[in-house]
Amino acid sequence: MLGAQASRLPGAGETPAIPFFEEFMHSSNKAINIWLAMVGFLVVFLVIFGGWVRLTRSGLSIVEWKIITGILPPLTQEAWEQEFTEYQQSPEFQKINRSMTLEDYEFIYYNEYIHRLVARLTGMLFVLPLFYFLWKGAIPWRKSGIYLLIGLGFAFQGWLGWYMVSSGLIDRPSVSHYRLTAHLLAALTLLALCFWAGLNNVYGTERPLDRPQRKSAQALAILMVVILVVQISYGGLVAGLKAGHASNSWPLMFGRLIPPGLLSYVEPWWKNLVEAPVTVHYIHRWFAFVVLLATFGVYWVARKRGFYTAVRQGVLWMLGLVCLQIAFGVSVIWFRVPVWLALVHQGTAITLLLASLFLNHRIRYAQPLPQAIPATKSVKAVVN
């Protein structure tokens, strides 16, 4: 539906941007918005801190999952020694950290401990106020689906975290890269649901009158998120396989644009796509340009359809962010995966995901300009 008639309403581009924070603070759902924002911030912290735990090789330091008693760290010298003795039975200590002292152990222990503790607190911070809001009717039951899903998601994520860690405690000293990616994606899904619920509160979910005319823009915006999620998943696989170290050059890899044997590291050939570090790294470094292309597609449609200024500017920001993210990814490779840069790369991926969801929400629900409703067929301008 992007034919020649897709013109812009004069002045639509000059419509003022949506006062997000004003809406956020003054909406009748202010308490719910603040609650969701706090939970969201904590999930972002957990994802980035999870990256720190992984990159400092701390994730396998606590070899048991004690849901209740694990809230406290060892409190006496004896308890520390006991904990360290248990860790000494693990493949990571046996194969990699044999010279580790108790002091070194305390460092990796506390990293993992903080991650688990904040995760517990975040789950509580979500679930307890949820009961309160449901009880008070601030969240009506008919709208409670997304919140109940997030609550269940937290429980699932706790289990998934342990399921991931347990894969590194049997014989090899690293976790399954599939489970690591699943854990990353589940965390991002929780974040995405909190963010979407917040956007629903701030902007509402009333279907706009010109909905049929937006179908192509909506479809493209959804495709952009799907492509981004595929890229993020590949990022997780790269991280889990430590495949960032497979090559430290870009754009060439082993001196070639397409290195030989990409599909012959393991059998059958298709397993290379998800299991061979070099191949997974290769896909991740180039699939980024598919993300760029999809984002450009959304920008093009938003311009052509005269979507209001904030959407067009939002997609422009997103285009800039994708370029920045590619530059960070390349730098991660060139500088051989420095911890801080890898974390910045991860943080930018989260920002990109949130930006893409924001744009999807606006493209879906932004209301048309009042004067655009009865106007001619050619009117396609959209505004909040």
Chain residues in the site for ligand HEM (CB under 6 A): 51, 55, 184, 231-232, 235-236, 238-239, 244, 250, 284-285, 288, 291, 322, 325-326, 329-330, 332-333, 337, 342, 345-346, 349, 352
Nearer to ligand HEM, 194 or 232 (CB): 232
Minimum distance between the CB of residue 301 and ligand HEM, rounded to whole angstroms? 19
Minimum distance between the CB of residue 193 and ligand HEM, rounded to whole angstroms? 18
Nearer to ligand HEM, 214 or 281 (CB): 281
Minimum distance between the CB of residue 126 and ligand HEM, rounded to whole angstroms? 22
Q: HEC profile for the chain?
A: CCCCCCECCCCHHHCCCCCHHHHHHHCCCHHHHHHHHHHHHHHHHHHHHHHHHHHCCCCCCCCCCCCCHHHCCCCCHHHHHHHHHHHHCCHHHHHCCCCCCHHHHHHHHHHHHHHHHHHHHHHHHHHHHHHHHHHHCCCCHHHCHHHHHHHHHHHHHHHHHHHHHHCCCCCCCCCCHHHHHHHHHHHHHHHHHHHHHHHHHHHCCCCCCCHHHHHHHHHHHHHHHHHHHHHHHHHHHHHHHCHHHHCCCCCCECCECCCCCCCCCCCCHHHHHHHCHHHHHHHHHHHHHHHHHHHHHHHHHHHHCCECHHHHHHHHHHHHHHHHHHHHHHHHHHCCCCHHHHHHHHHHHHHHHHHHHHHHHHHHHCCECHHHCCCCCCECCECC
Minimum distance between the CB of residue 165 and ligand HEM, rounded to whole angstroms? 15
Minimum distance between the CB of residue 344 and ligand HEM, rounded to whole angstroms? 10
Nearer to ligand HEM, 31 or 230 (CB): 230
Nearer to ligand HEM, 232 or 369 (CB): 232
Nearer to ligand HEM, 18 or 337 (CB): 337
Minimum distance between the CB of residue 368 and ligand HEM, rounded to whole angstroms? 32
Nearer to ligand HEM, 188 or 217 (CB): 188
